Amino acid sequence: MIDGVLCEGIETTDASGLPFQSFTARLWVSVESGYPVLAEIEGIDNGGARHTTTLDQFQWNVDLSAEDVELEIPTRYDPL
């Protein structure tokens, strides 16, 4: 249970060395919706420093308006 939501999760690790000595990621999703609830990423770099990131408070089905998006077409863009 995470914040009152029944979840199931997965953990994966990698010790391949690039770009970290070790890397672990955990992802929990809602059993009911299948949407992510929490993600944690941890890496230890080649100097031994630990780097962590936590992603939570996801928002789904958020209404967007045209004013919420700024269109930027690169000057050298050529349509196909």
d(CA 18, CA 43): 10
- Tell me the average pLDDT across 39-49: 91
Percent of the chain with pLDDT over 70: 99
For 40, residues 6+ apart whose C-beta sits below 8 A from its C-beta are 24, 25, 26, 52, 53, 54, 55
Q: Is residue 4 very low, low, confident or very high in pLDDT (cuts 50, 70, 90)?
A: very high
Residue 33 confidence (pLDDT): 94
Residue 26 confidence (pLDDT): 97
The length of the chain is 80
Q: Is residue 29 very low, low, confident or very high in pLDDT (cuts 50, 70, 90)?
A: very high
Residue 21 confidence (pLDDT): 86
